Amino acid sequence: MEAVYQLFDEYFEIIPTVSTQSLPELSQACQQIMLECQKIRYQVYCIEHDFEKPEEHLNQLEQDEYDDLSLHALLQHKPSGDFAATVRLVTFQALGEKGLFPMELHSTFDTQGHTALDALPRNSIAEVSRFAVSKTFRKRLTDTNYHGVSDFGEKREIDSKRIIPHITLGLFKILFQMSKTAEIHYWYAVMEVTLIRLLKRFGFNFVRVGPAVEYHGKRIPCFISVSDALENIKKVQPKIWDFITDNGKLQLD
């Protein structure tokens, strides 16, 4: 795992965007990035899983009302040019008239959860959503030209089970970068238990705020302080902290 981790930047490029309406001069480029994100989301949410109905997305783009004022990111495989994964931060500005994050619309919070969430400044929150890694890409990954170097220095093909944790970390690296730029200090998330457990191994201590809900499968509503997460990652997984912060270059206020 460590060898692939060390080669991440050689094989993958992280492509972030700002909201398509926040900087008009960047609007066209941001729109193109968002379209690529929506293509991956369609592949994952409509084709690979039955979370969304393909007939409701005839343009083969998975879209919703939060997209235009959210922050989007892509992970691109450099050798092939293929886009491998995407993630989105739904900002407070994207909530519209309802003024509620998706998690707040689809979850029930317990008493402690209500207390914890009510204490957070609303404009410093963003919800991590549309976290999607394409199975189509993972299949191509094992069939084509993604190679890493083993601990013994020999060249060999990397299977998808080994690379997926690194793709996950790559997406979280960009979440930290976008949060720094947008002055986001807390993340909401509704995640599978397996992902919560994986992230805990990496140092992410998400706080559960309510019971599991049925939302594209069983999901747990939770939140985390962005700065606390980064501090804890440094304590328990310093090499991952080096990767996420580019050896300390990314500093949160």
pLDDT of residue 2: 54
Please give the CATH superfamily to which domain 2-245 belongs: Gcn5-related N-acetyltransferase (GNAT) (3.40.630.30)
d(CA 101, CA 124): 12
Q: CA nearest 144: which of 157, 133, 131? A: 157
pLDDT of residue 142: 53
What backbone torsions phi and psi does residue 77 show, to the nearest 5 degrees? -85, 115
- Number of Cβ within 10 Å of residue 140's Cβ equals 17
Report the amino acid identity of residue 185.
H
pLDDT of residue 205: 95
Is residue 186 within 8 A of residue 120, CB to CB? The reply is yes
Q: What is the pLDDT of residues 17-62, one digit of tens each?
A: 765 445 455 567 788 888 999 999 999 989 888 888 888 888 999 9
Q: Name the residue ranges covered by the structural domains of the chain.
A: 2-245
Q: In sequence order, what are the residues at sequence separation of 6 or more whose Cβ sits closer than 8 angstroms to the Cβ of residue 238? A: none
Q: What is the pLDDT of residues 210-250, one digit of tens each?
A: 999 987 778 999 999 999 999 999 999 999 999 999 888 98
Is residue 121 within 8 A of residue 82, CB to CB? The reply is no
